[in-house]
């Protein structure tokens, strides 16, 4: 049951920032050339000594090899050029972006990476259409907005000096959209939660994770990645059961599983499998680890590590059971995605039933609170 009477959320703004921060999102990698278009484009070329600015173009082309090599003697990725327009919009191919596009050279200066520097609220507005859908109920989108904003904000607070961007637009971080992906609902969801992020029970900003469909229960970060994040709980979620990917199953050859287990042991446990004669111990959905004997030696491995190696086609989620029948391993699973934090299809169902975004977030993040991190 959803605990509607136990909302732990509080809205406070004592430590709010004055302005909306910008986030740098990697949108494309390893480009040989880049052509951007816009009105009255402003181009700033960055060299290791100075910056030169050019104004008034409609189209700007870059040959990414070997040009950027001449710009610097440094052997690390570096900012080659910044591109913007007084209109606030700039096009790369058929995609239109808000904010600024930045060209980075790779460490060997053989190609370019493209980064979009964009105000965080505009980023959230377009992201919602990709991570959920622009037509979904506003309260589901608002829950996603707070989670995605928290994820991005946490990265902004912990920049990595060797990296010239904060996030990737991919499933590795979160998938962002472009200007035309925004809808009336995504704009509302971003506006009505402006600056709001999740904090843990002690006020610490913790990364707010989300996934497509938990399939029955969410997982804690430590069950999937090993690191402990403040305030997470595994919650039973029945709200996603009727939508999205159905319960799934598959078969893996014994010999293939032996190879997978060996790679997991080497990569994550500094160990290896010593006997290819394996026996899987009785498993259940409640177990986030698989127990198996290789010969007479017991190995315990995280199911999520197996999924990392096997891929999403073989293991769509971390909620699965493995069992052995003859020379094959049978897998039965539920859901899609890593299973930590907000269940997107569960949030959709809750919003359809009339729950607001605070209730949705308090269900999936029962010990977290909402805090306003900045104002427009």
Binding site for Zn ion (CB under 5 A): 214, 237, 240, 343, 346
* CB nearer Zn ion, residue 64 or residue 343: 343
Closest approach of Zn ion to the CB of residue 348, in Å: 10
Closest approach of Zn ion to the CB of residue 269, in Å: 30
* CB nearer Zn ion, residue 234 or residue 276: 234
* CB nearer Zn ion, residue 103 or residue 343: 343
Closest approach of Zn ion to the CB of residue 146, in Å: 18
Closest approach of Zn ion to the CB of residue 323, in Å: 24
* CB nearer Zn ion, residue 36 or residue 235: 235
Closest approach of Zn ion to the CB of residue 223, in Å: 15
Q: What is the 3-state secondary structure (H, E, C) of the chain?
A: CCCCCCCCCCCCCCCCECCCCEEEEEEEEEECEEEEEEEEEEEEEECCCCEEEEEEEEEEEEECCCHHHHHCCCCCCEEEEEEECCCCEEEECCEEEECEEEEEECCCCCCEEEEEEEEHHHHHHHHHHHHCCCCCCHHHHHHHHHHHHHHHHHHHHCCCCCCCCCEEECCCCECCCCHHHCCHHHHHHHHCCCCEEEECCCCCECCCCEECECCCECECHHHHCCCCCCCCCCCECCCCCCCCCCCEEEEEEHHHHHHHHHHHHHHHHCCCCCCCCEEECCCCCCCCEEEEEECCEEEEEEHHHHHHHHCCCCCCECEEEEEEECCEEEEEEECEECCECEEHHHHHHHHHCCCCHHHHHHHHCCCCEEEECECC
* CB nearer Zn ion, residue 273 or residue 348: 348
* CB nearer Zn ion, residue 123 or residue 239: 239
Closest approach of Zn ion to the CB of residue 154, in Å: 23
């Amino acid at each position: 049951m959803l605990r509607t009477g136990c909302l732990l959320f509080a809205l406070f703004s004592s430590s709010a920032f004055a302005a909306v921060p910008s986030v740098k999102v990697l949108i494309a990698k390893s480009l040989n050339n880049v052509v951007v278009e816009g009105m009255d484009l402003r181009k700033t070329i960055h060299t290791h000594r100075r910056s030169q600015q050019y104004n008034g173009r409609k189209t700007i082309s870059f040959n990414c090899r070997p040009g950027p090599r001449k710009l610097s003697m440094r052997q690390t990725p570096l900012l080659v050029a910044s591109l913007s327009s007084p209109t606030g919009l700039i096009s790369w191919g058929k995609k239109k972006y808000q904010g600024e596009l930045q060209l980075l050279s790779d460490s060997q200066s053989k190609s370019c990476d493209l980064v979009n520097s964009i105000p965080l609220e505009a980023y959230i507005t377009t992201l919602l259409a990709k991570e959920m859908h622009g037509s979904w109920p506003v309260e589901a989108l608002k829950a996603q907005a707070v989670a995605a904003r928290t994820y991005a904000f946490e990265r902004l607070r912990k920049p990595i000096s060797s990296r010239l961007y904060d996030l990737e637009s991919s499933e590795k971080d979160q998938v962002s959209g472009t200007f035309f992906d925004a809808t009336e609902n995504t704009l509302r969801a971003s506006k009505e939660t402006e600056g709001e992020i999740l904090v843990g029970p002690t006020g610490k900003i913790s990364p707010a994770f989300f996934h497509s469909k938990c399939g029955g229960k969410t997982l804690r970060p430590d069950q999937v990645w090993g690191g402990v994040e403040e305030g997470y709980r595994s919650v039973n979620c029945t709200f996603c059961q009727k939508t999205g990917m159905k319960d799934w199953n598959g078969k893996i050859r014994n010999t293939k599983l032996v190879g997978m287990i060996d790679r997991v042991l080497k990569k994550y446990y500094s160990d290896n499998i010593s006997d290819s004669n394996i026996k899987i111990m009785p498993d259940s959905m409640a177990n986030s680890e698989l127990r198996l004997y290789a010969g007479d030696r017991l190995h315990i491995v995280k199911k999520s590590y197996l999924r990392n190696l096997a891929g999403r086609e073989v293991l769509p989620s971390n909620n699965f059971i493995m069992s052995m029948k003859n020379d094959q391993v049978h897998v039965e699973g539920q859901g899609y995605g890593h299973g930590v934090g907000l269940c997107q299809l569960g949030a959709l169902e809750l919003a359809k039933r009339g729950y607001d975004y605070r209730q949705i977030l308090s269900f999936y993040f029962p010990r977290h609170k909402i805090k306003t991190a900045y104002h427009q």
